[in-house]
Amino acid sequence: MRPRTAWQAMARRPVAFLASGWPWRSTAYLLSGVLVGAAAVAVLAAGLVAGVVLLVVLVGVAPLLGVVLSATAVAAVERRRLRLVDLDPAPDPHRAPDGPGLRAWAATRLTEQATWRELGFALLSAAALWWLDLLVLAFSFGLPALCFASTDGATWPWTVFGALVLLASPWTVTAWAGARAALVRVLLAPRDQELGAALQEVRASRSRLVDAFDAERVRIERDLHDGAQQHLISLGMTLGLLELDLPPDSPLRLQLAQAQQQLGSAHRELRGLIRGLNPPVLADHGLAAAVREQASRFPLPVTVDLDLPARLPRQLELHLYYLLSEALTNIARHSGARTAAVHGRHRADLLVLEVTDDGRGGADPALGSGLTGLADRLAAVDGRLRVSSPPGGPTLLHVEVPCRFE
């Protein structure tokens, strides 16, 4: 596998490492680090001196702010130089300015945490890093040159020492270049920023998937209501008309009556399915009323105690309704409970829901009990699920969802 960093290149066989361009890239990285560090010292020192001198006349704030903002330029150069010894690009942590012009750019940068972290790096680079670059280069190449220049019959051990140092210089330079690059990435392009962006995208995609699933539920409910249910009604009317046309003593009347009974049972099941997919009471009266209406049709007694100060946002209501529906369905299928309860309150911008049952307990997400699906649905709305389900019961599902009422 092709190495991506200087340290990875050092792990290769010596011949392969020496034949690669990594020692030269590392040397260029340290040489350019000396130049950038020296320039940073000059700029920062000039800005600090000007700011302190002019501060007495209340105009020194501008040079000091210039020092802070100049650190972003130093950091931008460092992120570009990093590609010499770290092939993975370092993302720019800054956001776009809030408006056009230099003033908006400066105001945005001064309010960002990344700017102040870059200032700290610029001060560290000016105070120490470029000196260490220079020291490593001087040891790796300057010291051997001095040993060779002072060679005579009595100082041949220094010649041997200089040769050994020179032979080791590719590893010495590359090792420090790798360490310096790792420090730069930690300070100027931390992995947690990249991971945070990736996690945000995962969370957003998961939310989109859940929303799409809910939208598909609504579409299916509409198609069943306007399509299959109307066909069943039409079929029932047709069977009723056929029954009227038959003689009173016709043996087909009994068969038509049985068909109408089966059709009525299928119609009732379809109505129940439609009501569960997108209950009208949820849209008309909110979450609490919808959960109470569902509990009234549940095969075991369910106590509902939901006290919400106002209607929830539509999407959040859908998420929580389906979550509570799935939780109650899990109780009916797996718990062996005799009773269940749903409790909910709003506390300090947090909606807290609890679903309990007196079943056998032992609920475990790893066993496919349906808890994984509940956790995934909650994650889509930044919620959290905690489960207490000791063997023998009872089982408690504790749900917390960020929610602010206007």
What are the residue ranges spanned by the domains of the chain? Answer: 6-189, 205-277, 282-402
Tokens of 362: 């032992």
Closest CA to 187 of 97, 114, 240, 131: 114
Contacts by residues 229-237 (CB-CB < 8 Å, ≥ 24 positions apart): 229/267, 229/270, 229/271, 229/274, 232/263, 232/266, 232/267, 232/270, 233/267, 235/263, 236/260, 236/263, 236/264, 236/267
pLDDT at 177: 92
pLDDT at 194: 46
Q: How many residues does the chain have?
A: 406
Write down the pTM of the prediction: 0.51
Query: CA 384 to CA 355: how far, in whole Å?
Result: 14
pLDDT in tens, the chain (406 residues): 678 888 888 888 888 888 889 999 999 999 999 998 888 888 878 777 776 766 665 555 677 777 788 888 888 899 999 999 988 888 888 888 877 888 888 888 888 888 888 888 888 888 888 899 999 999 999 988 888 887 676 777 888 888 899 999 999 999 999 999 988 888 887 654 544 554 555 555 555 555 655 665 666 656 555 666 666 667 667 766 676 667 777 767 677 777 767 766 766 666 655 555 566 777 778 888 888 888 888 888 889 998 888 888 777 888 888 888 888 888 888 788 888 999 988 877 788 889 999 888 887 766 655 677 777 777 777 788 888 888 887 888 888 888 776 5
Contacts of 300 (CB under 8 A, 6+ apart): 331, 332, 337, 338, 339, 340
Report DSSP state, residue 334: I
User: 13 burial class (0-12, 13-18, 19+ CB within 10 angstroms)?
Assistant: exposed
- In terms of phi and psi (left: phi > 0; alpha: psi -120 to 50; beta: otherwise), the region of 286 is left
Q: Are 6 and 178 in contact (CB under 8 A)?
A: yes
Sheet with 350-357, strands from edge to edge, namely: 302-307, 340-347, 350-357, 395-402, 384-388
Closest CA to 40 of 130, 137, 166: 130
Q: Which helix (H) or strand (E) holds 396?
A: strand 395-402
- For 282-402, the fitting CATH number among 3.90.79.10, 3.30.565.10, 3.40.630.10, 3.40.50.2300 is 3.30.565.10
Q: Are 95 and 72 in contact (CB under 8 A)?
A: no
Tokens of 58: 């209340």
In angstroms, the Cα distances linking 343 to 110, 318, 355 are 46, 17, 6
CA angle 61, 62, 66 (to 5 degrees): 115
Maximum pairwise Cα distance, the chain:
134
